[in-house]
């Protein structure tokens, strides 16, 4: 997952280690206060992230983004990054975590086909990965890109190479995911951004066209596993909400290319609905919209 912190951390690992140490030694209130100058620094020095935030907030509010809104956007992400330190240690007692829609997942799993959980850059995907400890041991595998340059997760104590992790970019990545679905397990993966030369289709999001990958929808179609969307949302203070949302039936088993357009559009519409409701949870700080045509196999 390529975010503004990935760039910053490569030059400031010592600062991340300091924040992690303070999180464990001094507690969350002090660390939250220390985040203000850190966030201000990145907001002033990272033009790409600042412009991406302003572009997104303008699309959501249909007006020019204010500086305090951009700062609040950065700060919301920084707080969730800090909180990962505690969650990685299993300290969920520090937070009020509401899990909504879990009966929906249980009902879908009764069919025996497993379940595809589509995530996004709205909210924290890591929160879903960590919060599975509070989900009664349901079998979940996380499919995600592992950046070997990234230090945030390792410093925070998040195991990127746990048995339930399926790294993207390997020849057997989607084969392993498909096999897990056949076993009746849950597969969670991001479906809102194209990384590299990945097959994609255009979709309307917040009034503009962007590209979205089709591989997650191909996986669901091929396995005919039911699909839900999930958002790990920060609601302020110490409150988090993990919400599972019914997505509907996967595409037909033989669907490929443009035949996947209906499910891609359905995903974009649901993502937009929650983005308008939780705009400060949009944790993609690189330009999101582009003019490139969709690429379908």
**Ordered DSSP codes for 93-138:** GGSEEEEESHHHHHHHHTTSS-EEEEE-SBS-HHHHHHHGGGTTT-
More confident position, 164 or 162: 164
- pLDDT above 70: percentage of residues in the chain: 81
Can you give the pLDDT at residue 214? 95
Average pLDDT over residues 53-65: 96
Provide the whole-model pTM: 0.87
Q: What single DSSP character describes residue 282? A: B
The percent of residues above 90 in pLDDT, for the chain, comes to 46
Residue 196 has pLDDT above 50, yes or no: yes
Reference 194, options 93, 97, 71, 284; nearest CA is 284
pLDDT higher at 142 or 151:
142
Q: In whole angstroms, give the CA distance from residue 177 to residue 165.
A: 10
């Amino acid at each position: 997952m390529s975010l503004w912190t990935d760039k910053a951390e490569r030059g400031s690992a010592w600062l991340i280690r300091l924040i992690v140490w303070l999180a464990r030694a001094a507690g969350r209130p002090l660390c939250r206060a220390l985040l203000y100058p850190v966030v201000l620094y990145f907001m002033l020095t990272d033009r790409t992230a600042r412009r991406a935030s302003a572009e997104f907030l303008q699309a959501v509010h249909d007006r020019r983004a204010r500086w305090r809104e951009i700062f609040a956007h950065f700060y919301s992400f920084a707080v969730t990054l800090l909180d990962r330190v505690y969650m990685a240690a299993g300290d969920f007692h520090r937070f009020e975590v509401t899990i909504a829609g879990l009966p929906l997942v249980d009902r879908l799993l009764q069919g025996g086909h497993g379940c595809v959980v589509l995530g996004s850059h709205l909210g924290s995907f890591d929160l879903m990965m960590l919060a599975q400890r509070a989900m009664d041991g349901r079998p979940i595998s996380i499919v995600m890109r592992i950046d070997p340059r990234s230090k945030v997760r390792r410093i925070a104590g998040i195991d990127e190479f746990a048995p339930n992790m399926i790294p993207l970019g390997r020849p057997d990545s989607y084969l392993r995911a498909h096999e897990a679905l056949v076993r009746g397990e849950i597969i969670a993966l991001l479906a809102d951004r194209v990384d590299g030369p990945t097959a994609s289709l255009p979709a309307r999001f917040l009034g503009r066209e962007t590209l979205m990958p089709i591989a997650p929808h191909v996986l669901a179609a091929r396995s005919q596993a039911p699909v839900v969307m999930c958002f790990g949302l920060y609601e302020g203070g110490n409150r988090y909400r993990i919400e599972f949302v019914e997505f509907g039936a996967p595409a037909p088993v033989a669907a490929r290319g443009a035949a996947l357009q209906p499910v891609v559009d359905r995903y974009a519409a649901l993502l937009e609905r929650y983005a308008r409701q939780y705009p400060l949870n949009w944790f993609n700080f690189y330009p999101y919209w582009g003019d490139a045509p969709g690429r379908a196999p």
